[in-house]
Amino acid sequence: MIVGRALQIFAVPGIPEIVEGADLAAIFADALAAARMATEAGDVFVVAQKVVSKAEGAVVRLADVTPSDRAAAWANTHGKDAATVEIVLRESTRIVRMERGVIISETRHGFVCANAGVDSSNVPPGRVTLLPRDPDASASRLRDAMMSRLGHAAAVIVADTFGRPWREGVVNVAIGIAGLQPLDDWRGRSDRFGRRMHSTIVAVADEIASAAELVMGKTMGTPLAVVRGAAQWTGNGSAATLVRPATMDMFR
Amino acid sequence: MIVGRALQIFAVPGIPEIVEGADLAAIFADALAAARMATEAGDVFVVAQKVVSKAEGAVVRLADVTPSDRAAAWANTHGKDAATVEIVLRESTRIVRMERGVIISETRHGFVCANAGVDSSNVPPGRVTLLPRDPDASASRLRDAMMSRLGHAAAVIVADTFGRPWREGVVNVAIGIAGLQPLDDWRGRSDRFGRRMHSTIVAVADEIASAAELVMGKTMGTPLAVVRGAAQWTGNGSAATLVRPATMDMFR
């Protein structure tokens, strides 16, 4: 078979429940070894935000939170848990919408998403996870540790599923990046008619995160995927680059 | 190697420039055969909107268009081509933003995107492509013809790159679908702690489109990718399902 460009994406099986303080790189390397999955330079590891938050202890016990009057009132009106609402408000720097029982807000990272990324799914009862405080740093630490264990270059994306305006359903996006350029800028390259392209910048890190989600799923206990064939985008990068500055955002 | 879920994505090389009236299924089947790429039941073919529009003749010669006063004035102010602006306005059912030289609008399909999907890249000079009139029907016709030629079941996604609010860069999304369920609804399934998931509906068709974009690129003349490993989502579906009704969209 003669192929052009190709991509392979593998879910890594056998990763146990992650608890605070867990050494993700050690656990991931062990799971790769147990599954006899060889990795190679240029592989991109896509890691679910949930396990990064758990390992880093970005988990809050609802019983430890005293809701503000605002959180309690809104939670009561909408049949939500007041402590969870309180945590969402604390994690938000700006409320985009707060109605119909849903809070869309901006996080301190600049991400706009539901509930500021606060999530109770796949978390022990009575607890919620927060987004990692600095997901790029989380990705960078994990990358260094994975490279050390595996003995080759690699990139890491910390990913979470975000809703989007205008379109149904969530898609996985990159919230932390290490060793990867998040954007591929086609501006200045020529199209097939020799004309210079303009205004085409592709968010490849988000596309890689979305691709990985297809093998990770939501309840399958597979928080790690290996994406092979994306080595052309390895390099220095930050997920902060994916956050559109408010002044440049025509949708706000 | 023991693997969990896996996905493979191949670009199909050797597809010539597509002109009006082209038989895409014949061209794609010939390219697959020439590259000795075997396909199989459950494969998802992701096709760039651009070639579908070209084959269907959804191409407009700028010289044939008389700009309205509104289009001419706005084009003049922002240094844009008046005929192109006129076509964008005609393709729009609602203007979301029209400033800084950029038009974000809603198309008759309900998609919200830049320039109503009107595009000049990879199109012969003096012409622009429109979005297919009915991308689901385009996908369905192509699927039927591909299945007939290849002798096995398959799904088709017609895809285009759209910008997003809040995040930099475009990502590939599904604008036409045949033989695929666009959304995977995890609501009601249990998480690993036995709790029922809620409000998690994943836009798998968009994630598949994004995954395919990574091997298709923008100037490489590869408007077709094969995605293998997504057969679990085959079934009946429409890209219209991915359009969030205005009444349900908290971002509008």
Q: Cβ B202–A171 below 8 Å, yes or no?
A: yes
Which of B105, B112, B103 minimizes the C-alpha distance to B78? B103
Q: Cβ A112–B166 below 8 Å, yes or no?
A: yes
In angstroms, what separates the C-alpha of A16 from chain B's closest C-alpha? 11
pLDDT of residue B189: 77
Q: Cβ A167–B244 below 8 Å, yes or no?
A: yes
In angstroms, what separates the C-alpha of B167 from chain A's closest C-alpha? 5
Pick from A33-37, A100-104, B111-115: least confident: A100-104
Q: Cβ A123–B193 below 8 Å, yes or no?
A: yes
pLDDT bin (cut points 50, 70, 90) of residue A245 is confident
Q: Which residue has the tokens 């008046």?
A: B82
Residues A110-129: tens digit of each pLDDT: 999 999 999 998 898 999 99
Residues A191-203: tens digit of each pLDDT: 777 776 656 899 9
Q: Cβ A249–B165 below 8 Å, yes or no?
A: yes
Pick from B89-93, B100-104, B186-190, B221-225: least confident: B186-190
Nearest residue on chain A to B1, judged by CA atoms?
Answer: A36
pLDDT of residue A103: 93
ipTM over 0.90? The verdict is: yes
3-state secondary structure of A160: strand
pLDDT of residue B106: 95
Please report the domains of chain A, with CATH numbers, ordered by start residue.
Answer: 9-58+132-248 (3.30.1330.100), 60-129 (3.90.1660.10)
pLDDT of residue B193: 74
Whole-number percent of chain B with pLDDT over 70: 93
- What's the token pair of residue A110? 């600049």
pLDDT of residue A198: 59
pLDDT of residue A240: 95
Nearest residue on chain A to B39, judged by CA atoms?
Answer: A1
Q: What is the mean pLDDT of residues A23-51?
A: 97
Average pLDDT of chain A to the nearest whole number: 92
Instruction: Nearest by CB to A192, from B200, B215, B219: name it.
Output: B219
Q: Cβ B251–A218 below 8 Å, yes or no?
A: no
Which of A155, A146, A157, A203 minimizes the C-alpha distance to A179? A155
Instruction: Nearest by CB to B221, from A17, A169, A192: name it.
Output: A192
3-state secondary structure of A230: coil
Whole-number percent of chain A with pLDDT over 90: 81
Pick from A183-192, A243-252, B109-118: least confident: A243-252
Residues of chain A in contact with residue B35, where contact means CB-CB under 8 angstroms, are: 1-4
Look at strands B171-178 and B154-162 and give their pairing. antiparallel
Q: Cβ A190–B111 below 8 Å, yes or no?
A: no
Nearest residue on chain A to B195, judged by CA atoms?
Answer: A121
Q: Which residue has the tokens 């409320």?
A: A95
Residues of chain B in contact with residue A119, where contact means CB-CB under 8 angstroms, are: none
Element (H, E) at B214: helix B204-216
Q: Cβ A214–B208 below 8 Å, yes or no?
A: yes
Nearest residue on chain A to B37, judged by CA atoms?
Answer: A1
In angstroms, what separates the C-alpha of B69 from chain A's closest C-alpha? 24
pLDDT of residue A250: 63
Q: Cβ B211–A206 below 8 Å, yes or no?
A: no
Buried b (16+ CB within 10 A) or exposed e, B25-37: bebbbebbeebeb
Q: Cβ B7–A211 below 8 Å, yes or no?
A: yes
* Residues with Cβ within 8 Å of residue A64, at least 6 apart in sequence: none
Size of interface A-B (CB pairs under 8 A): 286
Q: Which residue has the tokens 């092979």?
A: A228
Residues B105-130: tens digit of each pLDDT: 999 999 999 999 999 988 989 999 99
Whole-number percent of chain A with pLDDT over 70: 93
pLDDT of residue B139: 98
In angstroms, what separates the C-alpha of A178 from chain B's closest C-alpha? 17
Which of A174, B88, B25, B203 minimizes the C-alpha distance to B97? B88
* pTM for this model (two decimals): 0.95
Nearest residue on chain A to B34, judged by CA atoms?
Answer: A2
Residues B202-252: tens digit of each pLDDT: 999 999 999 999 999 766 689 999 999 999 999 999 999 999 987 766 655
Nearest residue on chain B to A174, judged by CA atoms?
Answer: B167
Distances (CA, A) of A231 to A40, A153, A181, B27: 10, 10, 10, 30
